[in-house]
């Protein structure tokens, strides 16, 4: 499919940047239009693949932001974005909508700009275009604390209500160890970009390579049209890898001249899909709670096995407890990898979302309590015990 | 962020001079030359290294009670400042506030001018500008006259409610009684913390952190008002050895992989811990803070993600608040890792309680012996 992609805030812009990087590395052409929108001038300088003229700074004339972000405050994020909505609409006028199938808005939900401003941007897009608008939302990790959880819990409601699908990425599940701050985020964003691009780039070409079960954008749109929250699983393997248990009959060497027979190809496909489904999902969830499932097998067409695809589909129908399972292929003639991306659409059982909501409720109570006591506590601090001392002015 | 600096009274003016000096010698910019120093005196005897002559204003020179200054009399300072405010305003008009994020009023709260004129100034600045007005106030030391405690205690009652936030500095912690200029060391220390917290270096795409904190983050952290305290701790990285040698020097013999991962996180956490324990500008009960902000700076390859996360989490537990913002400030080639922590609206501060008690006792004594002369104000 062909997408217009828009990153809102720091986290969202970085993901879009990594998506463009991944598609250029793998010769895909998914992101036909790219925009980064932010309230912080410094963060807008970071993307490497989003052209300068496609970066929009909002709120630079707003007293509360002035090009320096919104301080992680969702309210200000929404306010600043709404105030500059005309500027954003003007930027979106450039989208050649006849060239895209859908619009994807990426945003982090824990901060202020993405979580507060994202829904405002989505409103504008829904208003301007008939094409579906999807969100790619990054949920804050538990370790990020109560305020981001509160921002995310509030913002998640707005996002899910406004978009045609909300694809979630849970920072907690992908929290890396033993990395520097910089590498940690880079790594997560790369993983996410690989999944989303592999999944959505299927059927992006106009002159479709001959593919038996070619996926096209209407299949993807149909699977995503659930108005719910989705999760993506992913697995990849080298094209010349042998399926498990099969010994190299030629005693090493000459593997490329030795295509696997149909049975082992089928096994390879099925086990790849199984591995993708059981992999670390972008949002850990109960697979059986999904309403619809879509699988994109991507790689050289010679590796595709109709039998493998069919048995993978049957297996998934059982796992996901739904008959709405589509498995298609996405031919990449020169690719050295065979990959499977599994989209679980409208998953209703995702423990992490419950945890965020509980964390948010606690945070909200604590914040309200502190606010209520604030004046009194300050007054106690600056007043002596018996109020003997007068203020100087 | 960009703040106009306004120094009031002898101590405040000297501190602004120190901050400006550090600014001009380093890469961190806070006021970009937008500063003003104000003193009450009969003579125009400014003696600054870095504040230009035309950015210093002397008021009260025609007031009959003013001599070398107000001799610790804060009520006199209030009167003079109100009368002569047009002179100050003329100078303030020279500052292009449109380009700035707010104002930082710098004052010693023990002196008559800093405590009295400072309070008037904060009030007036709030009327003049719709941007935050912060105060950087220096509390008098325990060995300074009790009348200074009275000045500071009364001044806090006016300044704290009027200012958007009042960052306090407890001189006692830093004064070196043996040094030639006992305030030189504390002034340097305070100036460098203020710059580390508020001022950024040049914007270089390479040097932008994954979680860069911007001026909006600082403004939001300070927005509850009240009193704030800044903590700071830094550690030198040994050249060549870097992290590991640092670890080994602390945890000798404890170098298997798992424990070194633990200590890696523990190390940044202990740095943040250190910044709160002995190294706060104003010692306070950390759990009484309403909001907090922490920035870790150092070479990017040394800023461990786990350390960063656990330090933030630890701070959230210590401060008992969910409003904790954390940022990184990568500085390639730097040989130190530093943590700067801002605790906003701290409400349990033993030093302030002690100061208030001293002030009340002094007032009671003064009333009991109304003829006693006050010669302690200098």
Predicted confidence (pLDDT) at residue B362 exceeds the cutoff of 80: yes
Predicted confidence (pLDDT) at residue B183 exceeds the cutoff of 50: yes
Six token digits for residue A203:
């059927």
Pairwise CA distance, residues A232 & B358, whole Å: 65
Q: Are A371 and A328 in contact (CB under 8 A)?
A: no
Pairwise CA distance, residues B377 & B70, whole Å: 9
Q: Is residue B365 part of a domain?
A: no
Q: What is the model's pLDDT at position A249?
A: 43
Distance from the Cα of B321 to chain A's closest Cα (Å) equals 7
> If pLDDT is split at 50, 70 and 90, which confidence band does A155 have?
very high
Residue B325 sits in the same domain as residue B238: yes
Please indicate if any CB of chain B lies within 8 Å of the CB of A368.
no
Pairing of strands B3-8, A325-331: unpaired
Pick the residue from chain A with its C-alpha nearest to B346: A378
Q: What is the model's pLDDT at position B259?
A: 46
> For residue B304, what are the domain limits?
205-344
Six token digits for residue B207:
């040097």
> If pLDDT is split at 50, 70 and 90, which confidence band does B244 have?
low
Predicted confidence (pLDDT) at residue B11 exceeds the cutoff of 80: yes
Across B57-85, average pLDDT: 93
Across A369-383, average pLDDT: 96
DSSP code string of B39-68: EE-SS-----SSS-GGGEEEE-TT-TT-SS
Name the residue among B105, B162, B113, B163 with its Cα closest to residue B137.
B105
Distance from the Cα of B49 to chain A's closest Cα (Å) equals 32
Percent of chain B with pLDDT over 90: 58
Six token digits for residue B238:
């040994």
Q: Is residue B42 part of a domain?
A: yes
Across B256-281, average pLDDT: 73
Give pLDDT tens digits for A195-214.
999 999 987 765 545 555 67
Cβ contact, residue pair A389, B150, below 8 Å: yes
Q: What is the model's pLDDT at position A179?
A: 76
Which comes out higher in pLDDT, residue B122 or B372? Answer: B122
Predicted confidence (pLDDT) at residue A40 exceeds the cutoff of 80: yes
Of B153, B177, B202, which marks where a domain is finished? B202
Across B138-158, average pLDDT: 96
Residue B12 sits in the same domain as residue B155: yes
Q: Is residue B356 part of a domain?
A: no
Residue B213 sits in the same domain as residue B85: no
Domain total in chain B: 2
Six token digits for residue B89:
């305003």
Predicted confidence (pLDDT) at residue B117 exceeds the cutoff of 80: yes
Please indicate if any CB of chain B lies within 8 Å of the CB of A52.
no
> If pLDDT is split at 50, 70 and 90, which confidence band does A357 have?
very high
Q: Is residue B318 part of a domain?
A: yes
Pairwise CA distance, residues B104 & B38, whole Å: 13
Which residues of chain B have a CB within 8 Å of the CB of A55? none
Q: What is the model's pLDDT at position B378?
A: 43
Among B102, B210, B349, the residue to mutate for chain A (most A Cβ within 10 A): B210
Q: Are A102 and A222 in contact (CB under 8 A)?
A: no
Q: What is the model's pLDDT at position B323?
A: 94
Q: Is residue B354 part of a domain?
A: no
Please indicate if any CB of chain A lies within 8 Å of the CB of B199.
no
Please indicate if any CB of chain A lies within 8 Å of the CB of B264.
yes
Q: What is the model's pLDDT at position B330?
A: 84
Maximal C-alpha separation, chain A: 97
**Candidates A40, A63, A380; nearest CB to B214:** A40
Q: Are B353 and B170 in contact (CB under 8 A)?
A: no
Residue B188 sits in the same domain as residue B213: no
Give pLDDT tens digits for A292-335.
999 999 999 888 888 999 999 999 999 999 999 999 999 888 88
Q: Are B152 and B119 in contact (CB under 8 A)?
A: no
Across A51-77, average pLDDT: 91
CATH number of the domain to which B14 belongs: 3.40.50.1440
Across B158-173, average pLDDT: 94
Q: Are A77 and A2 in contact (CB under 8 A)?
A: no
Which residues of chain A have a CB within 8 Å of the CB of B151? 392
Percent of chain A with pLDDT over 70: 92
Q: What is the model's pLDDT at position A320?
A: 95
Across A84-110, average pLDDT: 94
Q: What is the model's pLDDT at position A220?
A: 94
Of B178, B202, B226, which marks where a domain is finished? B202
Residue B187 sits in the same domain as residue B284: no
Q: Are A37 and A139 in contact (CB under 8 A)?
A: no
Please indicate if any CB of chain A lies within 8 Å of the CB of B112.
no
| Mean pLDDT estimate for chain B | 87
Predicted confidence (pLDDT) at residue B254 exceeds the cutoff of 50: no
What domains sit in chain A, N to C, each tagged with a CATH number? 3-200 (3.40.50.1440), 225-345 (3.30.1330.20)
Q: What is the model's pLDDT at position B287?
A: 96
Please indicate if any CB of chain B lies within 8 Å of the CB of A372.
no
Which comes out higher in pLDDT, residue B33 or B268? Answer: B33
Residue B183 sits in the same domain as residue B331: no
Residues 155-174 of B with CB under 8 A from A: 155-158, 160-161
Q: Is residue B245 part of a domain?
A: yes
**Candidates B153, B160, B212; nearest CB to A378:** B160
Please indicate if any CB of chain B lies within 8 Å of the CB of A363.
yes
Q: Is residue B349 part of a domain?
A: no
Predicted confidence (pLDDT) at residue B265 exceeds the cutoff of 90: no
Q: What is the model's pLDDT at position B252?
A: 47
Cβ contact, residue pair A45, B130, below 8 Å: no
Residue B246 sits in the same domain as residue B216: yes
Cβ contact, residue pair A181, B308, below 8 Å: yes
Predicted confidence (pLDDT) at residue B111 exceeds the cutoff of 50: yes
Residue B152 sits in the same domain as residue B258: no
Degrees, nearest 5: CA angle A136-A140-A146: 145
Pick the residue from chain B with its C-alpha nearest to A377: B347
Please indicate if any CB of chain A lies within 8 Å of the CB of B131.
yes
CATH number of the domain to which B330 belongs: 3.30.1330.20
Please indicate if any CB of chain A lies within 8 Å of the CB of B368.
no
Predicted confidence (pLDDT) at residue A245 exceeds the cutoff of 70: no
> If pLDDT is split at 50, 70 and 90, which confidence band does B180 have?
confident
List binding-site positions of A. Answer: 112-114, 144, 171, 189
Distance from the Cα of B150 to chain A's closest Cα (Å) equals 8
Residue B171 sits in the same domain as residue B311: no
Q: Are B314 and A343 in contact (CB under 8 A)?
A: no
Least confident piece of the model among A250-264, B99-113, B342-356 = A250-264
Name the residue among A235, A208, A220, A237 with its Cα closest to residue A333.
A208
> If pLDDT is split at 50, 70 and 90, which confidence band does B181 have?
confident
Pick the residue from chain A with its C-alpha nearest to B74: A392
Q: What is the model's pLDDT at position B247?
A: 56
Distance from the Cα of B231 to chain A's closest Cα (Å) equals 20
Q: Is residue B80 part of a domain?
A: yes
Predicted confidence (pLDDT) at residue A107 exceeds the cutoff of 90: yes
Please indicate if any CB of chain B lies within 8 Å of the CB of A236.
no
Q: Phi and psi at residue B298, in whole multiples of 5°?
A: 160, 180
Q: What is the model's pLDDT at position B33?
A: 92
Residues 282-301 of B with CB under 8 A from A: 288, 290, 296, 300-301
Six token digits for residue B173:
């912690």
Residue B121 sits in the same domain as residue B167: yes
| Mean pLDDT estimate for chain A | 90
Q: What is the model's pLDDT at position A133?
A: 98
Q: What is the model's pLDDT at position B328?
A: 87
List binding-site positions of A for GTP. Answer: 112-114, 144, 171, 189
Cβ contact, residue pair A180, B156, below 8 Å: no
Distance from the Cα of B173 to chain A's closest Cα (Å) equals 20
Pick the residue from chain A with its C-alpha nearest to B210: A182
Please indicate if any CB of chain B lies within 8 Å of the CB of A296.
no
Residue B179 sits in the same domain as residue B233: no
Pairwise CA distance, residues A153 & A148, whole Å: 9
Strand partners, A167: A136, A230
> If pLDDT is split at 50, 70 and 90, which confidence band does A108 have?
very high
Residue B177 sits in the same domain as residue B247: no
Predicted confidence (pLDDT) at residue B250 exceeds the cutoff of 70: no
> If pLDDT is split at 50, 70 and 90, which confidence band does A244 have?
very low
Across B293-318, average pLDDT: 88
Q: What is the model's pLDDT at position B185?
A: 85
**Candidates B156, B203, B310; nearest CB to A382:** B156
Pick the residue from chain A with its C-alpha nearest to B120: A393
Cβ-Cβ pairs closer than 8 A, A with B, add up to 193
Q: What is the model's pLDDT at position B115?
A: 98
């Amino acid at each position: 499919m062909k997408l217009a992609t828009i990153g809102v805030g720091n986290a969202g812009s970085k993901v879009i940047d990594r998506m463009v990087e991944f598609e250029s590395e793998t010769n895909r052409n998914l992101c036909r239009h790219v925009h980064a929108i932010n309230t912080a001038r410094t963060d807008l300088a970071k993307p490497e693949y989003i052209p300068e003229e496609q970066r929009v700074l909002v709120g630079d004339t707003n007293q509360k932001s002035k090009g320096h972000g919104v301080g992680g405050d969702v309210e200000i994020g929404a306010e600043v974005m709404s105030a500059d909505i005309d500027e954003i609409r003007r930027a979106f006028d450039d989208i050649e909508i006849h060239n895209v199938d859908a619009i994807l808005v990426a945003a982090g939900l824990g901060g202020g700009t993405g979580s507060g401003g994202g829904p405002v941007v989505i409103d504008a897009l829904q208003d301007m275009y008939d094409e579906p608008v999807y969100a790619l939302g990054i949920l804050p990790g538990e370790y990020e604390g109560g305020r981001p959880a509160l921002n995310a819990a509030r913002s998640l409601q707005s996002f899910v209500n406004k978009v045609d699908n909300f694809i979630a990425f849970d920072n907690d599940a992908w929290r890396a160890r033993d990395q520097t701050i910089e590498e940690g985020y880079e790594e997560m964003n790369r993983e996410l970009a690989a999944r989303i691009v592999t999944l959505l780039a299927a059927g992006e070409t106009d002159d479709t390579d001959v593919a038996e079960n070619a996926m096209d954008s209407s299949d993807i749109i149909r699977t995503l049209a659930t108005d719910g929250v989705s999760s993506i699983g992913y697995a990849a393997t080298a094209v010349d890898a042998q399926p498990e248990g099969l010994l190299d009959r030629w005693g090493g060497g000459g593997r490329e001249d030795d295509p696997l027979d149909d049975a082992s190809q089928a096994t390879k496909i099925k086990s790849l899909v199984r591995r993708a489904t059981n992999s670390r999902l972008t949002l850990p969830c109960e697979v059986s709670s999904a309403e619809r499932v879509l699988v994109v097998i991507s790689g050289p067409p010679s590796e595709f096995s109709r039998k493998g695809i069919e048995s993978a589909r049957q297996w998934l129908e059982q796992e996901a407890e739904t008959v709405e399972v589509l498995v298609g292929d996405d031919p990449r003639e020169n690719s050295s990898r065979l990959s499977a991306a599994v989209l679980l659409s409208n998953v209703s059982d995702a423990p992490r979302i419950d945890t965020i909501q509980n964390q948010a409720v606690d945070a909200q109570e604590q914040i309200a309590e502190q606010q209520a006591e604030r004046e009194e506590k300050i007054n106690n601090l600056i007043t002596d015990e018996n109020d003997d001392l007068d203020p100087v002015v | 962020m960009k703040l106009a600096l306004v120094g009031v009274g002898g101590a405040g003016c000297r501190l602004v001079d120190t901050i400006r000096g550090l600014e001009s010698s380093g890469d961190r910019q806070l006021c970009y030359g937008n500063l003003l120093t104000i003193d009450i005196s009969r003579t125009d005897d400014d003696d600054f290294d870095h504040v230009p002559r035309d950015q210093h204003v002397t008021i009260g020179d025609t007031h009959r009670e003013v001599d070398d200054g107000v001799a610790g009399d804060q009520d006199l300072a209030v009167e003079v400042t109100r009368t002569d405010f047009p002179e100050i305003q003329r100078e303030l008009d020279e500052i292009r506030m449109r380009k700035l994020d707010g104002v930082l009023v710098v004052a010693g709260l023990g002196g008559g001018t800093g405590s009295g004129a400072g309070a008037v100034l904060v009030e007036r600045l709030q009327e003049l500008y719709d941007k935050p007005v912060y105060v950087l106030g220096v509390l008098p030391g325990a060995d300074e006259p009790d009348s200074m405690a009275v000045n500071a205690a009364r001044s806090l009652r006016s300044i704290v409610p009027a200012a958007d936030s009042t960052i306090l500095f407890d001189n006692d912690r830093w004064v070196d009684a043996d040094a030639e200029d006992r305030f030189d060391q504390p002034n340097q220390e305070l100036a460098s913390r203020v710059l580390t917290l508020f001022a950024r270096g040049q914007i270089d795409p390479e040097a932008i952190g994954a979680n860069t904190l911007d001026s909006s983050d600082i403004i939001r952290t300070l927005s509850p008002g009240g009193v704030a305290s800044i903590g700071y701790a830094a550690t030198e990285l040994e050249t060549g050895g870097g992290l590991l040698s640092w670890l080994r020097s602390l945890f000798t013999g404890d170098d298997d992989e798992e424990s070194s991962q633990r200590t890696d996180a523990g190390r940044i956490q202990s740095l943040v811990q250190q910044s709160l324990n002995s190294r706060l500008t104003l010692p306070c009960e950390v759990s009484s803070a309403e909001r907090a902000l922490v920035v870790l700076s150092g070479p990017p390859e040394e800023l461990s993600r786990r350390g960063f996360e656990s330090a933030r989490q630890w701070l959230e537990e210590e401060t008992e608040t969910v409003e904790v913002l954390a940022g990184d400030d990568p500085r390639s080639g730097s040989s130190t890792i530093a943590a700067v922590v801002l605790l906003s609206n701290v409400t349990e501060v033993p030093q302030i309680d002690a100061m208030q008690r001293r002030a009340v006792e002094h007032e009671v004594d003064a009333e009991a012996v109304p003829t006693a002369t006050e010669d302690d104000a200098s």
